[in-house]
Amino acid sequence: MSMPVLEVGNLTVDAGEIVALLGGNGAGKTALLEAVLGIRPASGPVVLFGRDVSAMTVEQRVSLGVGYVPEGRRVFAGLTVRENLEVASLLPAVGRDRRIEEMLALFPMLGERPEARAWLLSGGQQQMLALARALMNRPRLLLMDEPTLGLAPLVVADLLRRLPRMAVDGTAIVLAEQRAGLALTVAGRGLVLRRGQIIRTGSAAELAADPGLADLMAGG
Amino acid sequence: MRALGPFWIAILLLPPVLALTVLPPFGQRMVVLVGIYALMGLGYQLVFGQLGALNLAQGALFGVGAYAAALAAPALGWLALSVAIVAAAVPAAIAAGPILRLQSHYFALATLALASIVNLVAIHAEAVTGGANGVSGFASALPRGSVLLAIVWACLVMGVLAYSRLFGGRLGEEARLVREAPLVAATLGIDGGRWRVAAFIAGGSLAGLSGAFAAALNGVVSPDVTGFPVMVLCLTSVVVGGSRHPMGAVLGAVLAVCLPELLRDFQGAWLLVYAAATLAVVLWAPGGLAEGIDRLRGAPLPVRPEPAVPERLLPAAGPQRLVLADVAKRFGGVEALSDVSLAIERGEIVGLIGPNGSGKTTLLNVICGLDRADSGTIKLDTAHLERLPPHAIARHGLGRSFQSNMLPGDTRSAGLARAISTHAAFLLLDEPAAGATDREREQLASLLRRLRDAGRGVVIVDHDIDLLARVCDRLICLDRGKVIAVGRPADVRANPDVRASFLGLEEAVA
Amino acid sequence: MAYALVALGFVLALNAAGAVNFAHGDLVVLGGAVAVLAGQMTGLPAPLLLPLVALVLAVAGIIAARISILPLVSRPPEATFVATIALAAIVEQGLTFGLGAAPRTAPALAGSGSFEIAGFALGRQPMAIVAIGGVLVAAVWFLLERTQTGRRMRAVSADRYMARAVGIPVGRYIMLSLALAGALAGIAGLLLGHQFLVAPTQGAGHMLKAYIAVALGGWGSVPGALLGALGIGFFETFGSVWLGDAWASAALYAGVLVVLAFRPQGLFGEPVGRRA
């Protein structure tokens, strides 16, 4: 399939691709992801899987195959692990339960305590829960916003190792990160955002080798 | 808001003048009643309008005043009026301490519970209050007729004029800060707690006084005066009239007294109309009737002076050094700051950099008292700041501006200007350049240099490293709560640890 | 038990709309009034009136929030307080206007009379209230804890932004919660309406008790609100034996003040506010 998964502004993402969205605080990374998801109005057209979805609601876009891992994880604190997964599912009960079991198996640290209330989980467990929640409907496009923030190095490594595996299965991933070095270890391409504009693009290798990258990133 | 113009003063004086010259006794009575409600409403404006706290005990305090006056009048005569004020102010003062700390929904509940107790006591403590029959037979000891009218309206006119003068200026701006951005108010040295207690007691006193007048007017005090309907009347009339406008309470009271007369043929309908009007005002015209009239007659809208950076930055008095030693702060299991030590002199600009979540804003919060350090010391010269509330720290000479505009309607630089105008010796600036254009960045840079020349010490957090490198004397880089580099900007920028922390490289190794 | 229904509805509406509804007590009275009128007009027995009252009040609950809460979400909380107080006054006055101020009796659920169990005389009506209340509380619990709809309602109240982001049609679930809140209020009105009659001025009292229950039980916590309501019920029943009705209420309010003075976050804290 040659059709891009996402086209917005001058950003195009193909199936199975991991694109790092780099930039400092306030560079516009979250705004871009939210516009794709439809939770914030976009300034131009948003095309998902070849269809212009500008007029679609968030629910419709999610059911087309978009998953979202927000900054700060935002798991539903009073709900249990299982319930957090359940509410995100668009499937009827039988398929839903099967998918939850798959997720609990995929994330052993969740599988250990599926009935725990989410606010009792550690930061790392919450981040995995947020990711599992976003994967419930087998998205073809996964949007992740600063998923490594505030996590212990081991958890970060675990998280990042998972992304290429998902990409191999055809999921496209847009990974917004301030920590460019981290993101570029898993991404194929990167873009640097500043004040809402893409100011630099390149392959991960190119960007990682660029000595000026730290200044671009820090430039706000 | 500003002092009342001749238009409003004329309207304010119209009812008593009419009452004393042309109106029949029945009309006089209505005018007195307007005065009484307006006085209660004026007191209510202090707490509800100025502080934005939903106090549901004002009606009960009105009732307390009425009972106090009725019970004290036979023995004390007119002095009973002052007894009524005290009787209402004392419970207000006692309750103020614990109640005013509460969040809005608990504050409303607490005042409602207080009011319910007063109401129950009035009905059931028959030995004192006469139960459902109430208290009577005291009226001859209190002012009556035109004397009462004159006293009530004299109090009201003085009250309205004092209110408009007070809140037309600095105090009004302070009240707005306490109401809409309590954190900003605290970092400007405004003691919000004392403010609230004062307003609550003053408002309660006015309620007590107006209750006493109501007792004098009616000659009978029954439990009805403490009931919830009185409270609803007070609330709705202040909202309809205008909850902050100096004439709001008066206009609301006029309507509350006249509507029942106009709709006399439809019993009870007036309250329905009034409640509907209140709802409409809340939904579509939050300024109330008084502001609407101001707009209709084309009165210049109250211009809020835009806070501006003073033309000349005078050398500020106060401490010479800000010193932090081993400051640590944890949130849950996360170490937000660990063993941060630094010293800043007057006349120095220090830039604080570091990736997101490295603890920059937390550090500023801990210094200015919005967050408490778990350990370590923070000193301005010899004065310890660790245990002081934010407003006290601000008064020691420490100013603070916030990341985003905390107040609706502020321009981007207003918060910065406000902090500078306190003449604080040390300033903590959180991302003053966020969202600024290149030109605004230049202005900011020159402002920072002026601050240095005026002998201020500045700590600035920003993501624009170029800007910081140009104006700062030193840069401090934080990473996960630790200081990883301090020094001249060029050195810090070249530091490999700093570069790695911005790219997150150290994680990839882990 | 009827308090529990009132408090349950109050907390559902609170969570869904994010604001205290001062008119909730008046929805209870409205429920009683609808029961009185419908009883008179149709002559149906009370058990058949229940669903009717629930339906009417479900609509009323939505309308109330549409008017006085949802348009004000971006304003300070005081704006919704005032708006719902005004709405409460409108309902109260409207009822006074329509029904007259005199108390009316709602149809009885189970006839009058009493029967004896283990030597205690138990009124049929109170027993019916307890039974229906218990069943409804259990049903709501089942809905919230065991069904996808209920879980989604809870997700919406926990984090509206995130609920939208995972594809939940948030608006629909808010309306559902409000309708449920209204229906519970209406049923409570019908249940209370026989024993304590229906009078337009009772609204404030119902609202205050629900408010207290929710404040003591933990702001926004559903089980907390139920516990709080049951606690208030027990306190009033036993307190009034010792102190008389009025002083028992006064003691309750004084207790609330003391609790708030020493534990400004309510008796059991605010579990919902805990977002790591």
Query: E strand or H helix at B329, and its extent?
Result: strand B321-331
Say how many CB pairs under 8 Å bridge A and B. 73
With an 8 Å Cβ cutoff, is B353 touching chain A?
yes
User: B3: alpha, beta or left, given left = phi > 0 and alpha = psi -120 to 50?
Assistant: beta
Residue A180, classified by CB atoms within 10 Å of its CB into exposed (0-12), middle (13-18) or buried (19+), is: buried
The dihedrals phi and psi of A176, each to the nearest 5 degrees, come to: -85, 125
Boundaries of every domain in chain B = 6-227, 321-509
Q: In CATH terms, is domain B321-509 a member of 3.40.50.300?
A: yes
Residues A87, C148: C-beta atoms closer than 8 Å: yes
Res B43 pLDDT > 90: yes
With an 8 Å Cβ cutoff, is B472 touching chain A?
no
CA distance B436 to A211: 27
Please tell me the predicted confidence (pLDDT) of residue C99.
78
Q: Which amino acid is at A196?
A: G
Tell how strand B349-353 and strand B375-380 pair up: unpaired
Select from B11, B446, B456 the least CA-distant residue to B251: B11
CA distance B59 to B224: 10
Which pLDDT tens digit goes with each residue over B48-85? 999 888 899 999 999 999 999 999 999 998 999 999 99
With an 8 Å Cβ cutoff, is C67 touching chain A?
no
Query: E strand or H helix at B351, and its extent?
Result: strand B349-353
Domain assignment present for A197: yes
Residues B113, C257: C-beta atoms closer than 8 Å: yes
With an 8 Å Cβ cutoff, is B21 touching chain A?
no
The torsion angle over the Cα atoms of residues B350, B351, B352 and B355, rounded to 10 degrees, is: -160
Radius of gyration, alpha carbons of chain B: 28
Tell how strand A141-145 and strand A172-177 pair up: parallel
Select from A39, A36, A31, A28 the least CA-distant residue to A4: A36
Instruction: Check which CATH number belongs to the domain holding A211 and give it.
Output: 3.40.50.300
Residue C142, classified by CB atoms within 10 Å of its CB into exposed (0-12), middle (13-18) or buried (19+), is: exposed
Angle at A175 between CA A170 and CA A181, to 5 degrees: 120
Query: E strand or H helix at C121, and its extent?
Result: strand C120-123
Domain assignment present for A1: no
Task: Evaluate whether A109 touches A128 at the Cβ level (below 8 Å).
Answer: yes
Average pLDDT over residues C126-153: 90
Please tell me the predicted confidence (pLDDT) of residue B402.
84
Domain assignment present for A181: yes
Chain C residues with CB under 8 Å of B103 CB are 264
A-chain residue closest to C156, CA distance: A76
Task: Evaluate whether A116 touches A80 at the Cβ level (below 8 Å).
Answer: yes
Listed in sequence order, the DSSP H helices in B181-287 are: 182-187, 192-218, 228-241, 248-262, 269-284
Please tell me the predicted confidence (pLDDT) of residue C116.
61
A-chain residue closest to C273, CA distance: A77
Select from C9, C11, C6, C3 the least CA-distant residue to C215: C11
Residue % of chain A over a pLDDT of 90: 68
Average pLDDT over residues B381-410: 86
Please tell me the predicted confidence (pLDDT) of residue C271.
42
Selection from B244-248, C66-70, C257-261 with the highest mean pLDDT: B244-248
CA C171 vs. chain centroid, Å, equals 22
Residues 6+ apart with CB under 8 A from B392: B191, B369
Res B96 pLDDT > 70: yes
Chain C residues with CB under 8 Å of B113 CB are 208, 212, 253-254, 256-257
In sequence order, what DSSP letters do the residues of chain A get, joined into one string?
A: --S-SEEETTEEE-TT-EEEEE--TTSSHHHHHHHHHTSS--SS-EEETTEE-TT--HHHHHHHHEEEE-TT----TTSBHHHHHHHH--S-HHHHHHHHHHHHHH-HHHHT-TTSBGGGS-HHHHHHHHHHHHHTT--SEEEEESTTTT--HHHHHHHHHHHHHHHHTT-EEEEEES-HHHHHHH-SEEEEEETTEEEEEEEHHHHHH-TTHHHHHHT-
For residue C191, what are the β-bridge partners? Answer: none
The dihedrals phi and psi of B54, each to the nearest 5 degrees, come to: -80, 90
Which pLDDT tens digit goes with each residue over B371-391? 999 999 999 999 999 999 999
CA torsion sign for C108, C113, C118, C119 is positive
Residues B434, A220: C-beta atoms closer than 8 Å: yes
Q: Which residues of chain A have pLDDT under 70?
A: 1-2, 218-220
Which pLDDT tens digit goes with each residue over B239-290? 999 989 999 999 999 998 888 888 776 666 777 888 888 889 888 888 888 9
Res C275 pLDDT > 50: no
Chain B residues with CB under 8 Å of C246 CB are 120, 123-124
End-to-end CA distance of chain C: 35
Select from C201, C196, C176, C210 the least CA-distant residue to C35: C196
Query: E strand or H helix at B476, and its extent?
Result: strand B474-479
CA distance C142 to B216: 59
User: C218: alpha, beta or left, given left = phi > 0 and alpha = psi -120 to 50?
Assistant: left
Higher per-residue confidence, B36 vs B299: B36
Which one of C77, C247, C264 has the shortest CB-CB distance to B104?
C77
Share the mean pLDDT of chain B.
87
Res B509 pLDDT > 60: no
Task: Evaluate whether B113 touches C256 at the Cβ level (below 8 Å).
Answer: yes
Tokens of B204: 């309660």
Please tell me the predicted confidence (pLDDT) of residue C273.
37
Domain of residue A37, residue span = 6-218
Please tell me the predicted confidence (pLDDT) of residue C118.
57
Chain B residues with CB under 8 Å of C206 CB are none
For residue A12, what are the β-bridge partners? Answer: A7
A-chain residue closest to C220, CA distance: A78
Which one of C86, C256, C257 has the shortest CB-CB distance to B279?
C86
CA distance B47 to B53: 6
Buried b (16+ CB within 10 A) or exposed e, A21-39: bbbbbbbbbbebbbbbbbb
Which pLDDT tens digit goes with each residue over B174-231? 888 888 888 889 989 999 888 889 999 999 999 999 999 999 999 999 998 888 888 9
Please tell me the predicted confidence (pLDDT) of residue B320.
92
Please tell me the predicted confidence (pLDDT) of residue A181.
86
Q: Which amino acid is at B218?
A: N
Residues C72, B282: C-beta atoms closer than 8 Å: yes
A-chain residue closest to B463, CA distance: A220
Query: E strand or H helix at C241, and its extent?
Result: helix C222-243
Residues A153, B462: C-beta atoms closer than 8 Å: no
Which pLDDT tens digit goes with each residue over C211-226? 998 888 878 888 888 8
Select from A215, A207, A211, A212 the least CA-distant residue to A21: A207
Res B1 pLDDT > 50: no
Query: E strand or H helix at B459, and its extent?
Result: strand B457-461
Q: Which amino acid is at B417?
A: A
Number of H helices, E strands in chain C: 11, 2
Please tell me the predicted confidence (pLDDT) of residue A142.
97
Say how many CB pairs under 8 Å bridge A and C. 76
Please tell me the predicted confidence (pLDDT) of residue B313.
75
Task: Evaluate whether C20 touches C180 at the Cβ level (below 8 Å).
Answer: no
Please tell me the predicted confidence (pLDDT) of residue B405.
67
The total number of residues shown for chain A amounts to 220
Task: Evaluate whether C28 touches C203 at the Cβ level (below 8 Å).
Answer: yes
Q: Give me the half-sphere count of Cα atoms (radius 13 Å) on the Cβ side of residue C197.
A: 9
CA distance B260 to C74: 34
Residues B504, A179: C-beta atoms closer than 8 Å: yes
pTM over 0.95: no
Query: E strand or H helix at B85, and its extent?
Result: helix B80-99
CA distance C126 to C107: 13
Residues 6+ apart with CB under 8 A from B238: B41, B44, B45, B48, B49, B248, B249, B252
CA distance B25 to B44: 29
- Residue in the structure block whose two tokens are 């005043």: B65
Chain B residues with CB under 8 Å of C94 CB are 272
For B172, the 3-state DSSP assignment is helix
Residues C166, A88: C-beta atoms closer than 8 Å: yes
With an 8 Å Cβ cutoff, is B462 touching chain A?
yes
